[in-house]
Each structure stands twice: as C-alpha cells, then as structure tokens.
Amino acid sequence: MTYLFNQPSAFAAELIEGFVAANADKVRQVRGGVVRSTRSKAGTVAIVVGGGSGHYPAFAGLVGQGLAHGAAMGNLFASPSAQQIYNVAVAANNGGGVLLGFGNYAGDVLHFGQACERLRADGIPCELLPVTDDISSASVSEIEKRRGVAGDLAVFKVASAAAEAGHNLAEVFRLAQHANQRTRSFGVAFSGCTLPGATHPLFEVEKGHMALGMGIHGEPGIKDTLVPRADVLAEIFVDNLLSELPAGVAAAKGQRVAAILNGLGSVKYEELFVVYRRVAQLLASAGVTVVEPEVGEFVTSFNMAGASLTLMWLDDTLETLWHAPANAPAYRKGSVIVAEALSPAEREEPVQETLPEASAVSQQSAQRVLLLLEAMAQQIQSSAEELGRIDAVAGDGDHGIGMERGVLGAVAKAREVAARGAGAGTLLCRAADAWADQAGGTSGALWGVALTAIGTALGDQQEPDASRVATGVRHAREGIMHFGKAQPGDKTMVDVLVPFSDHLSQAVAQGASLSDAWQQAATVAHDAAQATAQLLPKMGRARPLAEKSLGTPDAGAISLALIVNTVGSLLHDKTPV
C-alpha cells in the first residue's frame, strides 16, 4: 500500500524535489535526475547510474563523494529516457568521460545505450555497465541476460572508488566489469507492491508463500514455497550463492566477500538482523570471511516484502575499492572529509538549445507535422484507458499512460520549436526526444527512435515527399528492431511496423501518392495489430500474469496501428505533408 502522494503522475517529479531539498549538501537537481553538489576531482571519470524510481536508495541515494557522480531518475519502475541520462551525464562529466551503470533490464539497456551513443557523438567518452547479479534470472550459460538487483551497490561502489582513485575510463570500466563478474545475488519475495494511486498491487505473492528468485518488478521466480523460518531462509541464501562461484574463485573456503543483505521495503531491519545472524554463522562455517557487511535497504521495490543476499567475491583490488570511504545520502562509510560545496554559479545548468536553419517550405511543413502530432495526441488521449486495459493483461498496464505522456510531451515541444521557426525534420527530432523523455519506459524510447529516424529523413530544407517519408519509416523500423531487439512474431509493435513499412515503400515505389500509399499500408497495419492476439506472449520483462496474454492483442502494436490510421485519415484530405 502506498499512502502518500498527490497526483500519481507527478509522484516521480515531486520525490526528486523533496529528495534534493533534504540532501542539498550532497546533491543538486538537473534535468533528468541529480548530480553531486560538491566538487569532484577534475579529469576523473564520472560514474552515472540510474533506473526507474521506486527503488530508493537506488539510484539517487547513491550519489555523493566516493560513490556515483549522478543518477538519472525515471518514472516509477520505468527507465529514464536517453535524454534524461544524457543530461545527467553531461552535468556530471568531470572531463574524464562517463561510465553508465544500470541494472540489466530491456528499457534501461535501450535508453542507456542511446545516451551512450549520443555522448560519444558529442565527443564524451562513454562505457556501458549493465549489472547482472541476479542468479535466478538466467542460467550461467546466459549470464549476460541476468537482471541487476542489490548487486548494483557493490558494482557501483567499486567503479566509483576506482574513479575517485584517478583511474582512466578504460581501467574504471575494466574494474567495474570485474566487480560485476564476481557479484552474485539471490532474492525472495513475500508480497508485491502497490504504486501510488493504484487500486491493485502491481503483482502479488500468495499469502504465506515465498517466491524464490522473484525480481524486483515482480518478474517470475523459479519456485514457490511456504515462508520458512529466518534461519532456513539464511541457509537458502547461502547455499544458492555458494553453489555458483564465479570464474576465478575455485573454492569458497578461504575467500573474502563483501556481503549485502538487502530488504525490499517492508521486511524490517530487525528481521534482516535475525537473518544476518545466521548468514554470518553459515559463511563462517564455510570458511568465508565477510568484509564490511551491509544489512539494510539498498535496492528496494517500494513497499514490496522480500529480501536478497549479495556476495561480491573479493580480491585485493576489489577489497581496497569496497573499503574506500563514501558519503552519499544513503550510503556512507569510512573516514570522510566532506568535500567543498559548489558555488551557486557552478550549480547552474547550461541552457537554451539552438535550432538549425530551415527553409521556408520546411517551416511550412513543420506546421503541418505539428497538426498531425496534435491529432495523434487526441487519438491517444481518447484511447489511453483502453490501451492500459489491454496492456494490463500481459504487461504492467501503463502503456496508455506512457503513450499519453509521450505524445503530449512531443506536442508541447513541437509547438515550441515550430514557433521558433524549426523545419519539419528538426521539429520531429525534438518532438521525438521529448516523447522519449516524458513517456519513459521501453515504448517511449522506441517512439523516440522512430520519430527521430523519420525527422532525419525529412531534413529541414526540402518539402517532405512520399519517398522521403517511406525512407524515414524504413529507418524507423530498422532503429526499433536494432534497439528493441524484437523480431516479427514476438508480439510487439514490430509485427505492425514491418508490414506497414513494406507496403508503404512498395506503393510509393509503384508511384502511389503519399496519402494513397499510407492509407493502404495503414489498413495492413490495422489487421497486423489485431493478429498479435494469435501470437505467443513476448518474453523478457514478463509479469507473473503473462501466461494469460494469449488471445489479447499487444498494446504497443495496437497503439502504432491507431496512430498510422489517424495520420492516414488526415493525409486522405490531400493535404501535402
């Protein structure tokens, strides 16, 4: 149960404000998240972490001396957008490049990946570090598919201490990967969590039961049992972690580990201490020495009840970095001399983007593209609830809300840049950024990719013709499949986009007008969206309820079909784009 919120849609934004107000000695707000409010050493690598909100102290609570330099903060359980991550990274950069650290989830991989490309394009060296500590989430043979949970703290701590020690980006990246390779977690859940304003839990665990290996967003676990005694849970934790030693650790006996016993939100400190008592005994019996253990809340899932044990298998280098002092809002250790606060002037964010020059004809087109975006917004707003219902069957039910936030953000941005004389291409690209930024989540990022591809194809000089549009749609399709990693048949928007793009290109090549070609392709898109009901549910970040999705169309596919049909109905009026 969540008790305290205002508008649920404002929750994530308001919590950042409150967090910064409470911790102004350590962090300051920038667009997209927070960065340190204290001086970092010039030239050192910046560690920028992030993910969805609702996991405090992950990720903002880990920003401060000796730990991260910045955190990109997404909506509740939704990845921050590439734009947010990019903003935070630029603000956090000390001139030594940026390491982006995040849990290995589809949406985060997508957005952090895009942000990394953008940073590199701007000449800021960048590396990506997806944390993969959750041993229940995939087998050893697919270790790169594992999710990140409380091991985030161990890996970020090592990376940050390495950066603080003055290592360059390549070395910080190597040490962080080494830490990730030696970090393993095993978690259990007793109950789900209910997000602000929701009437039902996002996911549930049967009363009196324990879901072994359940993820922190309710990703299905590997087994259900009755809730055991605390000592038995400690044995489950230790047995599972000792049975999968990382490469380079031949035997547990004689090893040294950093240990994190993490509560997910509603399991309280007292209970964690009772469990840790036995964990400590068991590790000692196994000949394993625990170095500076942490027992508390480090990666939560709102008020979800559950716990996990993380072990990072140390060598001398990792132990030195684990031991190094830190002073973040939610994580402090060792001897710390508080760093100098930045002056007010230094805290200002650089602002005001310039717009590229556009031809008069492209500026006129931009006005028409704006009309199309407004029509899309109207359509999405009236369909948002229905999209949410469809999404709730197999997903987390936020597709309608996400699309609505995205398209409204896109329209607002498009209006602003249209008024400032943007061309059609720039207008679409800026609207794309705003969409991804406001929507968050995987679908937001993919819509950002798609509109950017089309905008780039249109450019700011010539009138957008049928051929340019068809090319843009083809590039959108390639971008979505590249970043989203989905194939036709996976029951996603790709199942709509591929036939739509094929038919559009084909009709245009055969000489059809844009409106005729689009209309034909839109009909195909509509049918393809309905057909996703016949496909198996997509895999990945599936919810426990995913089994029920067969027979319901995919919400992302439906919303794409809706949008291309809305656009088609306007193009039908023979208005040139």
* Residues near its own copies (CB under 8 A): 1-6, 11, 14-19, 21-22, 25, 53-54, 56-57, 61, 190-191, 196, 227, 229-231, 233, 261, 265-278, 280, 292-295, 300, 302-303, 305, 307, 332, 334-338
Q: Whole-angstrom Cα distance, residue 292 to residue 290?
A: 7
Count Cβ atoms below 10 Å from residue 250 Cβ, excluding itself: 9
Euclidean distance between the first and the last CA atom of the chain, given in angstroms as a whole number: 49
Output the smallest distance, CB 270 to its own copies, in A.
5
Q: Which amino acid, one-letter code, is at 516?
A: D
Contact 354, 90 (CB under 8 A): no
Smallest distance, Å, CB 3 to its own copies? Answer: 5
Write down the least CB distance from residue 272 to its own copies, Å: 7
436's CB contacts (< 8 A; 6+ apart) are 81, 82, 83, 111, 406, 444, 445, 447, 448, 449
CA angle, 403 then 407 then 408, to 5°: 115
Closest to its own copies by CB, 19 or 518? 19
Select 218 or 265, whichever has its Cβ closest to its own copies: 265
| 3 state SS of 342 | coil
Q: What angle do CA 181, 183, 188 make, to 5 degrees?
A: 135
- Give 464-521 as a 3 state SS string: CCHHHHHHHHHHHHHHHHHHHCCCCCCCCCHHHHHHHHHHHHHHHHCCCCHHHHHHHH
For the bound state, the minimum distance from the C-beta of residue 499 to its own copies, rounded and expressed in Å, comes to: 42
Residue linked to tokens 């899309």: 376
Helix (H, G, I), strand (E, B) or coil at 75: strand
Of the pair 328, 508, the CB lying nearest its own copies is at 328
Min CB(163)–its own copies separation in Å: 21
CB of 523 to its own copies, least distance (A): 45
Which is it for strands 209-212 and 256-263: parallel, antiparallel or unpaired? unpaired
Closer of 297 and 490 to its own copies (Cβ): 297
Least distance to its own copies from the beta carbon of 54, Å?
6
Q: Toward its own copies, which CB reaches closer, 21 or 42?
A: 21
Nearest approach in angstroms of CB 299 to its own copies is 12
- Please, what is the minimum distance in Å from the beta carbon of residue 73 to its own copies? 10
Structure tokens at 212: 């072994």
Contacts 24+ apart (CB under 8 A), 331-336: 331/57, 331/61, 331/62, 331/64, 331/67, 331/153, 331/157, 331/298, 333/292, 334/66, 336/65, 336/66
CA 58 to chain centre: 13
Catalytic residue at 69? no
Of 55, 111, 167, 217, which residue is the catalytic one? 217
The nearest distance, CB 253 to its own copies, in angstroms, is 20
What's the CA gap between 302 and 266, in Å, rounded?
Answer: 8
When the beta carbons of 337 and 419 are compared against its own copies, the nearer one is 337
* Local structure of residue 37 (DSSP, 8 states): S
Q: Give me the amino acid identity at 212.
A: L
d(C-alpha 160, C-alpha 152), whole Å? 12
- Measuring CA to CA, which residue among 108, 219, 294 is closest to residue 541? 219
**C-alpha distances in angstroms, 179 versus 113, 401, 514?**
21, 37, 54
Strand, helix or coil for residue 226: strand
Instruction: At 477, list the tokens.
Output: 């399709």
Omega into 302 within 30° of 0, i.e. cis? no
CA dihedral defined by 538, 542, 545, 546, rounded to 10 degrees? Answer: 10
Q: DSSP letters along 402-415, please? A: HHHHHHHHHHHHHH
Beta carbon nearer to its own copies, 34 or 470: 34
Q: Which residues are catalytic?
A: 217
